[in-house]
Amino acid sequence: MSLVAIVYHLVPEAPILVAANREERYDRPIATPSIQSGKPRILASMDQDTGGTYLGVNQNGMFVGAVKRRKFSPPYSPRSRSALCRELLRARSARQAVDLALEELHTGQYDGVNYIIADGECGWVVHAGNDIDVVELEQGLSIVGNRDVNDLQDERASMARRLLTLQMLDSPVKFLAVASKVFARSPGAPGRPSMVVKGDDIGTVSSTLISLGKKPRDAIYQYSNGSPDKSKFEDYSPMLRDILSRGLREARTKANA
């Protein structure tokens, strides 16, 4: 149900640009983004049921997002996908996070999920449905829904790609402006895909826009606590810049030791 768009290594001043809508039960409590203690520091919206998250950034500039997907034979009592997402954000790098994801997912104890994992050096999508597969992110725009990355049969993902590429996404400001409108697109005619989902019990409960620049001061994190066609995006960029600055200081200290 959820949808993540990531522009990877296309815009020089912002190697990672993300727009994401999360669909969930309306009665499931989700906190607004906050800095999580421990190392590395994490900025994420925490699921109050599991203590996990479905999207976050750590102080090393690594992004991790999770999207549920269908699995024909899910485990009887599955481990939490959001808790694993939180653990992936504790990794030092995207490569380490991918290794951890594969190790855990091969236990067969998780329901279907796609993990998007990216830092400044590399980016991947881990597909964990009936089979487990890893796809390296290509330069440019990738869309991840509840199928494989850039699946042409996913009507919602295809519509997101079409709408996002109507203009050149050649700067963080342009991407954020376009994505904020695309991901707030309300349902149209019945039966047609839309960016905002409005079901009886499940629908779009939040939206996130992220720009990870080469310098911490340029980072942007905007969050809509609710359906983005009704709720405004609030700015959490100071929190993101704080943890990225911490990460940069710690990396310099380690290099000089």
Domains of the chain and any CATH numbers: 3-256 (3.60.60.10)
Q: Is 88 a residue whose pLDDT tops 70?
A: yes
Q: Which amino acid is at 92?
A: R
- What is d(CA 131, CA 69) in angstroms, rounded to the nearest whole number? 12
- What is d(CA 249, CA 252) in angstroms, rounded to the nearest whole number? 5
Query: How confident is the model over 221-247, as a mean pLDDT?
Result: 96
Q: Is 139 a residue whose pLDDT tops 80?
A: yes
Q: Which amino acid is at 110?
A: Y
Q: Over the stretch 150-191, which tens digit does the pLDDT of each residue have?
A: 998 999 999 999 999 998 888 999 999 999 999 999 887 666
Chain Cα centroid distance, residue 33: 13
Query: How confident is the model over 238-248, as a mean pLDDT?
Result: 97
Tokens of 218: 């340029």
Between 193 and 75, where is the model more confident? 75
pLDDT at 43: 98
pLDDT at 203: 94
Q: Which amino acid is at 203?
A: G
The pTM score is 0.95
Query: How confident is the model over 215-225, as a mean pLDDT?
Result: 96
